[in-house]
Structures are given as structure tokens and as C-alpha cells.
Amino acid sequence: MTPSKANTLRSMTGYGHGTSSQGELVAEVEMRAVNGRHLGVKCRLPGDMLRLEPQVEGMVRKAVARGRVDVHCSVKTGKPRRRPRIDRDVLGIYRKELTALGGEPSAALLQLPGVVTLAEDGPSPKTVERLLLKAARDAVTSLNAARAAEGARLMQVLRRELAALERLASRVAKRVPGLVARHHRQLRERVGKLLDERLASDDAILRRELAVLADRGDVTEELDRLHSHLAALDDRLAARGPAGRELDFLLQEVGREVNTLGAKSADAVTARDVVQLKSAVERLREQAANIE
């Protein structure tokens, strides 16, 4: 079995976190990804930031191919401060009217209604938007790092189980010639007890029936296909890009050959090996179900 050229497997599960701040203003984004047959993205943003949902979802869709991703965005602005503001338009009207009456403008104008107001000094929407999008980008990076780390662990498990399958299949293949020869010998002995030796050697129909029965004990083709599927699995693990769907398909084919192998094998030792083969295939399928 050839070693992996590049570990590019990613798990469908992972957690990503990103923050971005400016003064007391803090934007925070969390992303949680779990298994899913297709890609689904669900975003939760503050009410005044809902316009950013297409951009945040687009970031996720560029980075993730399969699975369900929940995105939670929040913005903390700290305690708002109330500051006085002078309405210069209103002040200008008062000054104009006072001058027309012959009076001199004074600081007392600031006490007139509508000139001075108290307002909360909050961040601009553009600043909040910039910080939130940066936090989202950092969360995507963090999420992919977690998915890649889990993918590396899954790669080790998959290769270990794949190596076990190869060993078991090779062990069975070494016994096949002897098993086939023994099966043919036992078949001839049983037929010889029931039929006349001349009939068994001359009757064409009987020979064909014997050939069919003999073929039922030969698992050479099943083993050849099994080794071919295992080689394809090894190649797919070494290739780039999302691999989950292809691994699932190949493992279905491996399972089909192993089941046929078990149905055709009458040897007790081979039957035990088939049980181990089935267990290894099941473990592989369970782990491959987590791959993107």
C-alpha cells in the first residue's frame, strides 16, 4: 500500500471562532459544523446586521463542501456614553431672530429649547460591518483548521483499517489454491460414492453440473475485485479534494465482495477471516461517514 502523498482529508465536524475589536467595540463569530449529506448553512446575526448574511454565508460555502454549519454572530459595544450635541441649524435661527430684534447674541442662546441635546455616542455602521466580517473570516479559518486536524486523525484510522483489510484479504488469497483443490477432491469423492465412475467421467451433463458446483467454491474473482477496490480506496485517500462520497461508494463495493466471499467459503478458517473483514469494513464505513 503506498503512503499518502498529501493529507487533504477534512472532517465534516469542527468548531471555529473569530473576534475583532476596536476600543470597546467587539465583534464575535462562532461556527459549528456537523455531519450532513449536503451543505447547509444557517446564520444568526444581530437585527441591524442582517444585510451581511449573504456575505457571511458565502464565506462558509467557499470553504465547506458538505455538512451543516451553524453561524452565530454577535456585537458588543460596551456601555454607551451620552454626549451633548449642538444643533447649529436651530442655533442659527435663534441668532438671526435675536439680531433682527436688535439684541446681541450670547451664550444664553444655548439654553433655548432644541439647541443642545444629549445623544448616545455609538460606533458607525461601517465600523461594525468591517469588524464583523473580519471576525467571520477568522472563524472560517479556525473552523477549517479544526476540520483538517480531525481529518488527519481520521486518515490514520482509515489507513490502519485499510491495511488490516489488505492483510486479511492476502491471507485468504494464499489459501485459495489449496481450498479449491480440496473442494474439487471432496466433490469427486462424494460423486464417486453415488455414481458409477464411468458415468461420472463420460456424461457431459454431469460434468457441466460438477463444473458449476466446483466454481461455487472458487473465490478468486471476488478476491481480485476486492484487491482492486482496496487499491482504489488507497488512491482516493492520497488524492486531493472532498472524498467522503467516493469513499462511501467504494466501501459499499468492498462490502459486497466480502459478503460474497463469505457466502462461497465453506472453510472454517476463511469464515473467521471473513468475519474480521466485515468488522473492518464496518469500522471503515463509520469513520468515512465523517469525511467531507
CATH architecture group of domain 14-78+124-149: 2-Layer Sandwich (3.30)
Phi and psi at residue 139, to the nearest 5°: -65, -40
Phi and psi at residue 257, to the nearest 5°: -70, -40
More confident residue, 164 or 90: 164
- The candidate with the shortest Cα–Cα distance to 19, out of 144, 137, 122, is 137
Q: Reply yes or no on whether the pLDDT at 4 is more than 50.
A: no
Local confidence band at 223 (pLDDT 50, 70, 90 cut-offs): confident
pLDDT at residue number 189: 60
Would you state the cell numbers that stand for residue 263, as one nine-digit string?
A: 457466502
Domain limits, CATH 3.30.230.10, in the chain: 14-78+124-149
Give 1-7 contacts, CB < 8 A, sequence gap 24+: 1/159, 1/162, 1/163, 1/166, 1/234, 2/234, 2/238, 3/238, 4/155, 4/159, 4/237, 4/238, 5/238, 6/238, 6/240, 7/151, 7/152, 7/155
Local confidence band at 1 (pLDDT 50, 70, 90 cut-offs): very low
The per-residue pLDDT for range 231-287, each reduced to its tens digit, is 998 888 888 888 888 999 999 999 998 888 877 776 777 778 888 889 989 999 888
Q: State what percent of residues in the chain have pLDDT above 70.
A: 73
pLDDT at residue number 82: 62
pLDDT at residue number 138: 97
The per-residue pLDDT for range 102-138, each reduced to its tens digit, is 666 676 766 767 766 666 556 788 999 999 999 999 9
